[in-house]
Amino acid sequence: MGLTGLEIYKLLPKTNTGDCGFPTCLAFAMAVAAGKINQEKCPHLSPEARETLEAAAAPPMRLVRIGPEQTPVLVGNETELFRHDKRFNNQCAIAVEVADTEDMPAFLQDFSALTFERVGQRYSVDLAALRCTSGDAGRFREAAVLLRNSAGKPLVLISEDVSIMAAALPVLVGDRPLLCAATPQNYRDMTELAQKNGCPLVVRAKSLTELSDLTEKIVRLGHRELLLDSGSRETAAVLADLTQLRRAAVRKRYQPFAYPAMAFASATEPLAEIVQSIVFLSKYASLIVLKARQPAQVLPLLTWRANLYSDPQKPIQVEPKVVAVGAVSPASPVYVTTNFSLTFFIVESEVANSKIPAYILPVNTEGTSVLTSWAAGKLTGAAIYKALQENGLESRVNHKTLVLPGYVAVLSGSTQEATGWKVLVGPREASGIAKFARENFR
Amino acid sequence: MVFMPIVEKYRSKVQEVVLGATRAQGGTRDFTVTVGGEAALPFLHYEGQIPHRPLIGMEIWDTAPADWPACFAPYFADSFRDPAVWAQRCVSGYGADLVVLHLKSADPDLLDTSPEHCAAVVSKVLNAVGCPLVVLGCGKPEKDNLVLPAVAEAAAGENLLLGLAEQNNYKSLTAAAIVYKHTLIAQSPIDINICKQLNILITEMNLPAGRIVIDPTTAALGYGLEYGYSIMERVRIGALQGDAMLSMPMIGNIGAEVWRTREATAPAEENPGWGEQHDRGILWEATTAAALLQAGLDIVVLRHPEAVRLIRQNITELMGGRGV
């Protein structure tokens, strides 16, 4: 509920009939605001008050499901403008577009390579988007079937021609593709088609005013599985519109815009398409359609998505606990670093890259980097000794050699003294770990 | 319902900072550039004036870099050994707004060059290009405290952008910036409180706020970029809400972070699923920059000419905004 008790009170009849079970309208309003009771318990609510209260009770942005019931792609349900306030909820979906006049097998081959392994996580594009450029319903349907059978992801169907869309849907029963798009010209028929087939629908207009108007008309027809496309294609205009749509939904609970918004990358060059998509991903798209489809182009976009949608509450420190990378054995090397997340992640990534299983021991430096913690006296021989003891390294490995970050080579002597372990000075930059590991531990 | 655009009202705006000084102003630059001044969140032109576009600085070293990946050779192989030639290439070849000279040679563990040598390199680069210059020390505070004051003195009046001042090491650099008329980079370790505190300490020494650029520290895409992104967003919101000690423009040393990651540099054979290194490296840098521009970054420091091209295009598109 976005309204306060007093705001709700103003909408009530203020007659204190007690029919709701509360002695006064004010007491009832307070209970509604606290979410303890539904406004429907008041039998004397005016239709306008009911509409306002229902709108306020609805989530600021609807959750929309694209694709089969069992394995849908979820978009929307966002409640924030800035990730530092609270974690964003549903990752922006990435759709790769192909025209029905293109070489489909070539597309499918590229598309299937757009799943990535990185730092133990799996990133993947979410949707295949088919655009009808042929103007031929038969060809569009044929391409849709091919994608449905081989792409392994839900579909977006792009055509404003209702007859072309209608011809493709009978072969996609239960697939619930996203239909793109309903416009002021075709919305009656397109909405009916979407409803009949249980499909989510893109609402497309030429301005935010027109979009607001069109969304209301479609909702009045009874369809609410909607995504919003303001029609803008220039980078700055898309940014402006996406920002307005998100603010309207989250700050104003403006009902016509209480749906996830989407954007199309419009640059002609794939690299520029990715840079443009970074803007839309950062500022408020819930779905992006682009044509770039080489792994080297798509991986940076998916990596930023994973970063952006991560939990901002996650501290910038990692737990100062030993981490095993790969299939470690008692003979595996031990790398010492600090518990500053950024330092730890880069060391972890490089140790994994070295393909030589190892332990990483993040010393508790209160989340400061190697040089900073050394300068502040937090990374010392004694601190390393404490970390070795607390993590029971002596019982995990059958040797007594540790690798010290190259930047703190000066700590070699004191560390050797404090720990009784032999010290190997490692590379300064984590990027040197693979080479260092090959030379020392193969 | 009729949709009314939602326009935020802010109390304040970002401080304007001028970089460089022309002959008339006591320097030798052909022109100065102004950065900052935004009265709105990034590129939301309908909300307030965005008088200056973000600037692109290209990073050069005063010694040939041993660890830059091979993809830089086609652009710089013949200029790595001469920072003056390298600087010219960045400006006239690749359209850099600023040259960012990193005095790596001063590092006691590299060449340990003298403060006098470093000052001479700075003068040489100043002679080679007409744009304002950013000068970074080697990163070792004890040495930089010798090098940077010498550089500041030799380039007196040029209004260099000098860095880095840090919480535990800002006094000698601030003093040098005041005496020799330069602007300062104040770096804080992804921490908004330290960021603010450092600006207070520096302005208490009587360097005006308009001569400070904030480096909130950035990480590369995939290595904690989101932390830097959120700090920058918070700094910018703070500036617009009227916090004078967060109101300076921001600089991000992106190239140096990106080009040590495996994602930017590893050949395709190492991770076949990641695709070709060429596009991947360029986009790792451009993506990091594009994301931070959305958080409010004002000066983007890059290495790869193709990333520079993509980000310039991105900035041009974003500055061509319209109303809602």
Contact: A208, B321; criterion CB under 8 Å: no
pLDDT surpassing 80 at residue A133: yes
For A156-192, write each residue's pLDDT tens digit.
999 999 999 999 999 999 999 999 999 999 999 999 9
Length of chain B: 324
Q: What is the pLDDT of residue A341?
A: 82
Chain A CB within 8 Å of residue B155 CB: no
Contact: A345, B313; criterion CB under 8 Å: no
Q: What is the ipTM of this complex?
A: 0.97
Tell me the nearest-neighbour CA distance from A141 into chain B, angstroms. 31
For B46-79, write each residue's pLDDT tens digit.
999 999 999 999 999 999 998 899 999 999 999 9
Q: Is A355 helix (H, G, I), strand (E, B) or coil?
A: coil
For B258-298, write each residue's pLDDT tens digit.
998 889 998 999 888 999 999 999 999 999 999 999 999 99
Residues of B in contact with A349 (CB under 8 A): 223, 261-262
**DSSP output for A45-105:** --HHHHHHHHHHHS-SS-EEEES-SSSPEEEE----S-TTTS---SPPEEEEEEETTS-HH
- Between A285 and A349, the more confident residue is A285
Residues of A in contact with B1 (CB under 8 A): 212, 216, 254-256
Q: Is A416 helix (H, G, I), strand (E, B) or coil?
A: helix
Query: Which secondary-structure segment (H or E) carries B16?
Result: strand B16-19
B279, B297, B304: best mutation site toward chain A, by most A Cβ within 10 Å?
B279
Contact: B314, A279; criterion CB under 8 Å: yes
Q: Helices B141-154 & B115-128, crossing angle to 10 degrees? A: 50
Residues of A in contact with B233 (CB under 8 A): 82-84
Contact: A296, B274; criterion CB under 8 Å: yes
Q: Beta-carbon neighbour count of residue B104 at 10 Å?
A: 20
For A3-38, write each residue's pLDDT tens digit.
888 888 999 999 999 999 899 999 999 888 877 888
Rounded distance, CA B274 to CA B280, Å? 8
Q: Tell me the average pLDDT across B95-109.
A: 96
pTM: 0.87
- Among B184, B108, B107, CA closest to B152: B184
For A89-118, write each residue's pLDDT tens digit.
999 999 999 999 999 999 999 999 999 988
For A372-427, write each residue's pLDDT tens digit.
888 888 999 999 999 999 999 999 999 999 999 999 999 999 999 999 999 999 99
Asked if A296 contacts B277 with a C-beta cutoff of 8 angstroms, the reply is: yes
- Between A51 and A15, the more confident residue is A15
Task: Closest CB to B294: pick one of A117, A283, A345.
Answer: A283
Length of chain A: 442
Task: Closest CB to B283: pick one of A247, A274, A372.
Answer: A274
Chain A CB within 8 Å of residue B3 CB: yes
Contact: B283, A345; criterion CB under 8 Å: no
Structural domains in chain A?
Answer: 5-57 (1.10.15.40), 63-308 (3.20.20.20), 323-441 (3.40.50.11600)
CB proximity list for B42: less than 8 A, separation 6 or greater: B236, B293, B294, B295, B296, B318
Task: Closest CB to A296: pick one of B229, B279, B317.
Answer: B279
Contact: A271, B266; criterion CB under 8 Å: no
Residues of A in contact with B143 (CB under 8 A): none
Contact: B43, A239; criterion CB under 8 Å: yes
Residue B178 vs residues A118, A326, B28, B267, B321: alpha-carbon distances, Å: 47, 53, 18, 47, 38
Across the A:B interface, residue pairs with CB atoms under 8 Å apart total: 196
CB proximity list for A73: less than 8 A, separation 6 or greater: A65, A66, A67, A93, A126, A127, A153, A154
Residues of B in contact with A296 (CB under 8 A): 274-280, 283
Question: Which pairing describes strands A155-158 and B133-136: parallel, antiparallel, or unpaired?
Answer: unpaired
Residues of B in contact with A374 (CB under 8 A): none
Interface of B with A in 117-136 (CB under 8 A): none
pLDDT surpassing 70 at residue B324: no
Task: Closest CB to B317: pick one of A118, A236, A307.
Answer: A236
Chain A CB within 8 Å of residue B96 CB: no
Asked if B227 contacts A367 with a C-beta cutoff of 8 angstroms, the reply is: no
pLDDT surpassing 80 at residue A58: no
For B221-259, write each residue's pLDDT tens digit.
998 899 999 999 999 999 999 999 999 999 999 999 999
Kindly state the percentage of chain B with pLDDT values over 70. Answer: 99
Structural domains in chain B?
Answer: 54-319 (3.20.20.20)
Q: What is the pLDDT of residue A37?
A: 83
Residues of B in contact with A216 (CB under 8 A): 1
B262, B269, B277, B282: best mutation site toward chain A, by most A Cβ within 10 Å?
B262
Tell me the nearest-neighbour CA distance from A307 into chain B, angstroms. 6
Q: What is the pLDDT of residue B170?
A: 97
Q: Tell me the average pLDDT across A277-295.
A: 98
Strands ordered across the beta sheet of A323-325: A323-325, A358-363, A334-338, A401-404, A422-425
Tell me the nearest-neighbour CA distance from B283 into chain A, angstroms. 7
A325-363: b (≥16 Cβ within 10 Å) or e? beebeeebbbbbbbbbbbbbbbbbbbbbbbebbbbbbbb
Name the closest residue on chain A to residue B286, using Cα atoms: A275
Contact: B265, A431; criterion CB under 8 Å: yes
Amino acid at A54: E
For B193-226, write each residue's pLDDT tens digit.
999 999 999 999 999 999 999 999 998 999 889 9
Contact: A278, B278; criterion CB under 8 Å: no
Name the closest residue on chain B to residue A256, using Cα atoms: B1
Q: What is the pLDDT of residue A315?
A: 67
Q: What is the pLDDT of residue A1?
A: 47
Rounded distance, CA B234 to CA B242, Å? 12
Residues of A in contact with B310 (CB under 8 A): 271-272, 275
pLDDT confidence band for B322 (50 / 70 / 90)? low
pLDDT surpassing 90 at residue A53: no
Interface of B with A in 278-307 (CB under 8 A): 278-280, 282-284, 286-287, 290-291, 294-295, 306
- Between A64 and B189, the more confident residue is A64
Name the closest residue on chain B to residue A346, using Cα atoms: B223
